[in-house]
């Protein structure tokens, strides 16, 4: 069976939840739902490797988190996931003003799928009207940035983890096809 390696780069502000998200999926698909104890992965162990099998091939997903490789700009990712913390408005603003422009100047390949992932969904609070980021607002931002997908989840509670992981996998699997992993236009909501 043929094996394909797919490089996935997670970018976003420090402490927005990227490491917890990767640590949660490292526990296996059967542990994506519900509360569970999460042992954080160490940055020096990157890339975080996940084996995925489909009917036609075997895939090796190599996830990189911006906390570690020293210079992520040297990577040649097949997918970029821009992450933000749902409970921190500045995190979404930085996604727009810092991270998105950074990937556009660093990676000149326009065919790389860009996914936007809202993390820490469990911390969305109605008590803070200025800080709360509703899915509609984040989807609007994703559409303005011409992202291929918008997703959100909570690695701590497991809420929507399976759907997010499946969406990442389906996009990754498409990157090895002639059509590629980009959407046909417009942002798709998971």
Distances (CA, A) of 120 to 45, 49, 93, 133, 151: 23, 23, 16, 11, 12
**What distance lies between CA 100 and its chain's CA centroid?**
13
- Reported as a single tens digit per residue, the pLDDT across 91-100 is 999 999 999 9
Work out the average pLDDT over 132-144: 92
pLDDT tens-digit map of 152-185 = 999 999 999 999 999 999 998 888 877 766 666 5
Q: What CATH number has the domain bearing residue 84?
A: 3.40.50.300
pTM of the model: 0.89
pLDDT, tens only, 89-137: 999 999 999 999 999 998 887 789 999 999 999 988 777 766 678 899 9
Q: What is the pLDDT of residue 10?
A: 94
Q: 36: which residues sit within 8 A by CB, 6+ positions away?
A: 24, 27, 158
Which structural domain, as residue segments, surrounds residue 47?
Answer: 3-189
Structural domain count of the chain: 1
């Amino acid at each position: 069976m043929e094996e394909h390696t797919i490089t996935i780069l997670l970018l976003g502000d420090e402490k927005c939840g990227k490491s917890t998200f990767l640590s949660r999926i490292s526990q296996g698909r059967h542990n994506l739902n519900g509360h569970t104890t999460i042992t954080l992965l160490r940055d020096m162990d990157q890339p975080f490797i996940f084996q995925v099998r489909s009917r036609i091939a075997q895939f090796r997903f190599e996830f990189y988190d911006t906390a570690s490789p020293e210079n992520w700009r040297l990577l040649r990712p097949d997918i970029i996931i821009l992450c933000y913390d749902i409970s921190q408005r500045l995190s979404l603003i930085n996604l727009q003003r810092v991270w998105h422009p950074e990937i556009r100047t660093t990676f000149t390949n326009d065919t790389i799928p860009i996914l936007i992932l809202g993390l820490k969904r469990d911390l969305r609070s109605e008590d803070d009207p200025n800080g709360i980021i509703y899915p509609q607002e984040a989807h609007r931002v994703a559409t303005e940035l011409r992202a291929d997908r918008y997703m959100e989840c909570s690695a701590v509670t497991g809420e929507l983890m399976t759907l997010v992981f499946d969406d990442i996998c389906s996009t990754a699997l498409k990157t090895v096809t002639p059509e590629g992993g980009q959407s046909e236009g417009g942002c798709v909501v998971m």
